[in-house]
Structure 1
Amino acid sequence: MLKRLVITGYKPHELGIFDDKHEGVRFIKKALENRLRALVDEGLEWIILSGQLGVETWAAEVAIELQEEFPQLHFAILTPFEDQEKKWNEAKQEKYEFLLSQADFHRSLTNKPYEAPWQFIEKNKFFLRNSDGILLIYDEETEGSPKFIKQEAERYAENHEYDILLISADDLRVVAEEEQQNEWNGW
């Protein structure tokens, strides 16, 4: 049973999304919501995020919305290093600060600013050791930053009971079609 789930995926620019008004954000959040509702019904208690822009911040927003209905659902933001938002624009920093304020738990895993890629590697190892599974928004045909943690999760799952769940481009297409159909039926 999944009690602690890591959620990650693409950064916005990897999806061609440059602001949260992009229609794709709505479909990604709906796909996350659908999957999380089912997992909460099966006993999910914690969502673990590193707070990266994109899928992870959208997942945090979905978690906040779901907490109204499922108060037993919690989320943690565990960053790979301190001040990861330091170079983000002001609007993204404000959104990030809001998400941190809503998180049930947050801290930096290395307690120092960015030094080198080892901090991301250590974050991934920590996430795998401290969760029961991972949910990735990832498509095999469109590699990007999530491929690294996916590969690590697959290696980890060879020797541990560990669930790897995917939301693919096809899954997102289905959600988009369903959402558009619901809108047309509402006319």
Structure 2
Amino acid sequence: MAKVAVISGYKAYELGVYKQNHPAVKYIKKAVLKQLAPLLEEGLEWVVISGQPGVELWAAEVVFELQQTNLELKLSVLIPFLNQEEKWIDTTKEWYESILAQADHVDSISKRQYESPMQLKAANQFLVQKSDVLVLLYDHEREGSPRFILEAAKARQTREDYDIRLISFNDLQMIVEEEELSKNDF
């Protein structure tokens, strides 16, 4: 029974998404919702993200929508290091800060500012260790930052039972096609 799910995936720029109203955002959110629905039925209590702009913050918005009907569901933002948003553009900072303001729990894994990639590696290991399932938007055809948390999850999987649920670009394409079909009344 999955009580804690970590959700991650590509950063917005890795997907070429630079505006919140980009059409891809709607499909990514639907894909996240499609993964969360069965987890909620299995007793999901917490969704955890590290606060990266892109899949993680969109997932937070999905959690906020779900919280309107699932009052027990909570969002935790466990940032890898202090002031991770320091160099982000203002609109991204505002989006991030609005997510933090609505989250049920916010903390920093490293209590220091960014010093080295080791902090990111430690954060990935921590998130995987403290969760029951990883929901990850990642496609093996297109490497990117999500591969690091996937590596941590696979390492845990070699030692014990750990659930990894991938959302691929094919999954997104199927959601787009389903939407198109339903629009055209098929």
Structure 2 partner of 1:143? 143
Structure 2 partner of 1:22? 22
Structure 2 partner of 1:104? 104
Structure 1 partner of 2:4? 4
Q: 1:19-57: CA deviations, max 9, x gaps?
A: 111111110001111211121011111111000010000
TM-score (norm 2): 0.96
Give how far 1:185 is off: 2.7
Cα distance in 2, alignment partners of residues 15 and 95 from structure 1 = 18
SS in 1 for 2:8: strand
Please tell me the residue identity of whatever aligns with 2:143. Answer: E
- Residue segments in structure 1 that go unaligned for 5+ positions in a row: none
SS in 2 for 1:2: coil
Give how far 1:152 is off: 1.6
Within-5 A mapping of 1:157-168: 157-168=157-168
Cα distance in 2, alignment partners of residues 89 and 149 from structure 1 = 25
Cα distance in 2, alignment partners of residues 159 and 111 from structure 1 = 28
Cα distance in 2, alignment partners of residues 183 and 57 from structure 1 = 27
Q: 1:111-169: CA deviations, max 9, x gaps?
A: 11111111101101111111111010011111111111111211111111210110111
State whether residues 3 and 46 of structure 2, in contact with CA within 8 Å, keep that contact through their aligned partners in structure 1: yes
* Residue 32 (structure 2) pairs with residue 56 (structure 1): no
Structure 2 partner of 1:35? 35
SS in 2 for 1:185: coil
SS in 2 for 1:69: coil
Please tell me the residue identity of whatever aligns with 2:79. Answer: T
Structure 1 partner of 2:133? 133
Structure 1 partner of 2:169? 169
Aligned sequence identity (%): 45
Please tell me the residue identity of whatever aligns with 2:102. Answer: Q
Please tell me the residue identity of whatever aligns with 2:77. Answer: I
Runs of 4+ deviating beyond 3 Å: none
Cα distance in 2, alignment partners of residues 114 and 28 from structure 1 = 29
Cα distance in 1, alignment partners of residues 39 and 180 from structure 2 = 25
Aligned residues: 186
Structure 1 partner of 2:184? 184
Cα distance in 1, alignment partners of residues 58 and 158 from structure 2 = 29
**In angstroms, what is the RMSD of aligned CA positions?**
1.2
TM-score (norm 1): 0.96
SS in 1 for 2:48: strand
SS in 2 for 1:158: helix
